[in-house]
Structure 1
Amino acid sequence: MKQFKLPDVGEGLTEAEIVRWHVKAGDPVKVNQIIVEIETAKAVVELPCPFEGVVAALMADEGETVDVGRPIISVDDGTGTDPAPAPASSAAPGPAPERGQALAEDMVPAPPKEERQPVLVGYGVKMGAAKRRPRRSASTPPASTPPASTPPAGSPAPRSVQPPVRQDTGPGAREDAGPFTGESAVPSVREGARENGPAAGAAPASGGRVATLAKPPVRKLAKDLGVDLTTLTGSGPQGSITRDDVQSAAGAVPAPAAVRAVQAGEERIPVKGVRRATAQAMVASAFTAPHVTEFLQVDVTETMDAVGRLRRLPDFAEVKVSPLLLVAKAVLVAARRYPMINSAWNEVAQEIVVKHYVNLGIAAATPRGLLVPNVKDAHAMSLPDLARALGALAETARAGRTQPADMAGGTITITNVGVFGVDAGTPILNPGESAILAFGQVRDMPWVVDGQIVPRRVCTLALSFDHRVVDGELGSLFLRDVGAMLEDPLRMLAWS
């Protein structure tokens, strides 16, 4: 029986929500078959199965938030082997080992067998131990170990028993570090003694032992909710405390009726996944980078005519051509003319990083929250290629299939608020970038042309920028040139 643990599919993620299972218990699965969709703090991701066999059990429910490193599915690979050691009661009879010796031997892991584990698409080949002997909990001595208070006849007088030092822990090593981000290993005997007191031979209190089994994210949650872990009984593996245990305990604490009651007609939406990550990023951006926003009304009549002509060209027969395409092209050309607009502030190094490539971000509203995937190396694309890339980006975002890699490394962003019938706004910078352009709706408006008032197609551009990097002159020049290219698209050719 093999278990697949939730991997870190992003950059240091600690948890993810199970969105939808593609298999159920009893279904056959193959290596790299998509088995589950998860929502991380960045996107919805499909996970392939690293094993071949039959699904034995789904170990997490849809809608459940799971810590990285926790098993989510078990697969019977048909080998019939059991990696768990035989229980002590089934061993051949013999002299009972001393307590210290039994624990010390149990703490030493079995020699690892180097072998190639199955490849999970995108995760690479991992060489290492395929199996790992479980450690006994320090609070549960082996059945054959005699009580410390009744030593065998002829043995030395009892003395304070010091817990054996873990054989696999070096000086300075973290004893709570597990193989995955945010995962705690089963506590050693030394940790049990430290948590529960130095009394020799006494079984530690169950509350203290269980508290040491809570993973760091669960401990933080308990601290935030004011829950004492030592008062809980864990429902997780080996008695560990889970997020549900903490949340249940927090919900059981009496509170004023005015606080706990939910009025009729209200809906409570948990803030998690993409929505929580977006909220945190926007708060960090708004209160870290000093924002300045400038506005410019533009006559885009010629741009709208150009869009119509492009749609009739054979090169654009298979792609969607919208005004956003020419706005994106204008931003790319203007970024080449003013490279500082396409830069980032490095707080740690106290440097401004000017990027001579453009990963063009397009803000996309999805049912799961705001996403900003970006077109990699957009500056090097032809207009048809850029149109295809924007179309694929939008389609993937609408389907909820945007991957974390598609949202990493953006350099400058466009947000198209015009599709919602909005004229303008003050957009907040995407973290790590120095500028974002909002493109408002195109409307028929009276406009002065050659001294005459005529109806024209007009829109409003709004540029927000980081005033640490971009001063008013640079921001104004960039916005002016984008507007000029949208008034006369031939300038894009002249300035390219």
Structure 2
Amino acid sequence: MTAVEQRFREFKMPDVGEGLTEAEILKWLVAPGDTVTDGQVVCEVETAKAAVELPIPFTGVVHELRFDEGATVDVGTAIISVDTDPGAGEAPAPAAAPEPAAEAPAEAEPEGRQANLVGYGAAPSSTKRRPRKAQPGAQRPAAEAPRAPAPAAPAAPVRPEPGPDLNGRTGTARPLAKPPVRKLAKDLGIDLATITPTGPGGIITREDVHAAVEAPAAAPEPAAPVAGARERRVPVKGVRKATAQAMVDSAFSAPHVTEFVTVDVTRTMKLVADLKQDPELAGLRVNPLLLVAKALLVAIKRNPDVNASWDEENQEIVYKDYVNLGIAAATPRGLIVPNIKDADAKTLPQLAEALSDLVSTAREGKTSPAAMTGGTVTITNVGVFGIDTGTPLLNPGESAILAFGAVKLQPWVHKGEVKPRQVTTLALSFDHRLVDGELGSKVLADVAAILERPKRLITWG
């Protein structure tokens, strides 16, 4: 490692999950010139699984940010450089593209041209004329004696600073824009040549692209309405992209079967109200979902073969002696399914605490990738949206998923009389390669029986 490399350290995008290949930079928490210390969080990134804070592994002064917020960066790509010895002297300017070797000097750049960052900004070759090499057989003129001043031969014209008139409109220059801005324009269907740049040096900014989307297009004559003017296109990436792929994989790899049962949960709702007054559960999230989770864990304990996965490569069924219980959570970045490790080994207070931590962490967007891997079964609480039930899709690699519908006051036959009771509908989807109808029915019936008479938690659990 050279002395410069030892001083100017690069922090590369790490693999923050299991085999992730890229991440989007959501927010920079530092700027060039800021002092950073070993372990300090410098940015937030979003992977295909979660939003993650990235700490930097060395101390120094930020020299360069290689990418804008919103850029998607491959794992292993340098995203920030740090001067680890700022007292050693003036830092060099951010690296620019190297000059071509064995060629005539390039044309002079106009004053005010900004240096391009490595892997960032408009490529110099897109706006600078390539110098000519000497032609084969051409002779260089001999040196001449001094003579009176005479009109100089016309010099190669200096290319003017790119501006609106040369940004793909009346001229032939390629519009200047950084790679993330080019990608944004492409995703939104905007031609960079139609945008008037407002950035320094005639560079098109993200704001320019968004302004072009929002601005009404000037039509020389009346025309039929264009469908695209009333549509929005948003790039599929991050959590939504991963969720979409997982659901496609699940739907077309595992044969789904879904069974339903409607159950009187009046006693469960009363128990929830009682538990909220329990000092041992003070400050914890106590709600019907907690007892549904506990009921499912007891049902799995009574029917352990439902807790398995299908190994396609080895043509084996993998039975698991632990339950990592997934809880589907809606977040601003999309639906994620973190799981509670070894949920089957937790007491009710421990399960309540784990559920509270899981939900609060998910809402803050700080769920770790590790928390979303290794799940065995899942609960999705569609009832919070007022939905009676659904036919949930399995998370890849899991054997079953339970949908918990809305609890509603309904007429119900209770002890021979029609009375208003708290009623809900449960739906259990399972992988029919692993779980046959009998096993799936037993699991769902056990969950329903516990929620109807929650005292069974004591005798069955």
- TM-score after normalising by structure 2: 0.71
1:69 equivalent among 76, 99, 105: 76
Task: Give 1:264 shift.
Answer: 3.2
Residue 55 of structure 2 is aligned to residue 48 of structure 1: yes
Aligned-partner residue type, residue 322 of structure 1: N
CA distance in 2, matches of 1:375, 1:459: 24
1:231-310 alignment runs, 5 A limit: 263-310=228-275
Pick from 368, 371, 374 the counterpart of residue 333 of structure 2.
368
Query: Which amino acid counterpart does residue 417 of structure 1 have in structure 2?
Result: V
Residue identity in the other structure for 2:379 = I
What residue is the counterpart of 1:23 in the other structure?
30
Q: Which residue of 2 aligns with 1:469?
A: 434
Query: How many angstroms apart in 2 are the aligned matches of 1:363 and 1:278?
Result: 11
Equivalent of 1:437 in 397, 402, 417: 402
Alignment partner of 2:370 out of 400, 405, 415: 405
The amino acid across from 2:451 in the alignment is L
How far apart are the structure 2 equivalents of 1:423 and 1:81?
Answer: 67
User: How far 1:54 sits from its partner (Å)?
Assistant: 1.0
Question: In the TM superposition, what whole-angstrom CA distance separates every residue of 1:300-327 from its partner, at most 9, and x where no partner exists?
Answer: 0000000011111110112120000000
In the alignment, which residue of structure 1 is the partner of 2:393?
428
Alpha-carbon separation, structure 1, partners of 2:378 and 2:388: 18
AA paired with 1:49? I
Deviation of the 1:452 alpha carbon = 0.7
Distance 1:487 1:289 in 2: 31
Distance 2:192 2:271 in 1: 64
Structure 1 residue 266: deviation in Å? Answer: 2.3
Aligned length: 351
| 1:3-28 Cα distance to aligned partner (Å, 9 max, x none) | 11111111111111110111111111
Seen in structure 2, the aligned counterparts of structure 1 residues 432 and 81 have a Cα distance that, compared at 3 Å, is: farther
**Secondary structure of 2:444's aligned partner:** helix
Q: Which residue of 2 aligns with 1:37?
A: 44
Question: What is the aligned partner in structure 1 of residue 320 from structure 2?
Answer: 355
**What residue is the counterpart of 2:19 in the other structure?**
12
Residue identity opposite 1:323 in structure 2? P
Aligned to 2:423: 458
- Give 1:265 deviation, angstroms: 3.6
Runs of 5+ consecutive residues of structure 1 not aligned to the other structure: 85-135, 144-201, 203-232
In structure 2, stretches of 5+ residues that fail to align are 1-7, 92-96, 104-135, 137-173, 194-222
Q: Quick one: distance in 2 between partners of 1:373 and 1:418?
A: 19
Q: Within 1, Cα distance between the matches of 2:61 and 2:381?
A: 47
Q: 1:345 aligns with which of 307, 310, 314?
A: 310
Give the conservation status (yes or no) of the 8 Å contact 2:382–2:388: yes
- Residue number in structure 1 paired with 2:292: 327
In 1: Cα distance, 2:250 partner to 2:297 partner: 23
- Tell me, yes or no, if structure 1 residue 58 matches structure 2 residue 23: no
Alignment-mate amino acid for residue 391 of structure 2: T
The Cα of 1:253 is off from its aligned counterpart by: 12
Q: Distance in 2 between matches of 1:422 and 1:247?
A: 36
Partners of 1:249 and 1:427 in 2: how far apart? Answer: 35
**8 Å Cα contact 2:60-2:86 kept in structure 1:** no
Distance across 1 between alignment mates of 2:326 and 2:362: 12
Distance 1:327 1:253, change over 3 A: same
In structure 2, what is the Cα distance between the partners aligned to 1:30 and 1:262?
Answer: 52
Amino acid across the alignment from 2:333: R
Match of 2:458 in 1: 493
SS of the residue corresponding to residue 459 of structure 1 reads: strand
- 2:424 matches 1:417: no
Shift of 1:451: 1.6
Q: Do 2:71 and 2:180's aligned partners in 1 also have CA atoms closer than 8 Å?
A: no
**Structure 1 CA distance for aligned equivalents of residues 71 and 379 of structure 2:** 34
Contact kept in structure 1, 2:61 and 2:86, CA below 8 Å: no
1:288–1:81 distance in 2 versus 1, CA, 3 Å:
farther
Q: Distance between the aligned counterparts of 2:186 and 2:438, measured in 1?
A: 57
Q: CA offsets, 1:171-201, max 9 Å, x none?
A: xxxxxxxxxxxxxxxxxxxxxxxxxxxxxxx
**Cα shift readout 1:332-368 (whole Å, capped 9, x = no counterpart):** 0110111111110110010111111000000001111
Residue by residue over 1:185-221, the C-alpha shift from the partner in whole angstroms, topping out at 9 and shown as x without a partner, is xxxxxxxxxxxxxxxxx9xxxxxxxxxxxxxxxxxxx
Q: Distance in 1 between matches of 2:409 and 2:425?
A: 12
1:3 equivalent in alignment to 2:10: yes
What's the CA shift string for 1:129-186, capped at 9, x where partnerless?
xxxxxxx99x96678xxxxxxxxxxxxxxxxxxxxxxxxxxxxxxxxxxxxxxxxxxx
In the alignment, the residues of structure 1 paired with residue 45 and residue 320 of structure 2 have an alpha-carbon distance, to the nearest angstrom, of: 33
Letter of the aligned partner of 2:83 in structure 1? D
CA RMSD, Structure 1 to Structure 2 (Å): 3.1
Shift in Å, 1:247: 8.4
1: CA distance, partners of 2:242 / 2:186: 26
Q: Alignment partner of 1:264: what SS? A: helix
Classify 1:55/1:366 alpha carbon distance in 2 versus 1 (closer, same or farther; 3 Å). Answer: same
Task: Give SS of 1:405's match.
Answer: helix
Using the TM superposition, give the Cα deviation of residue 59 of structure 1 relative to its aligned residue in structure 2, in angstroms.
1.1
The DSSP-based 3-state class of the residue aligned with 1:17 is strand
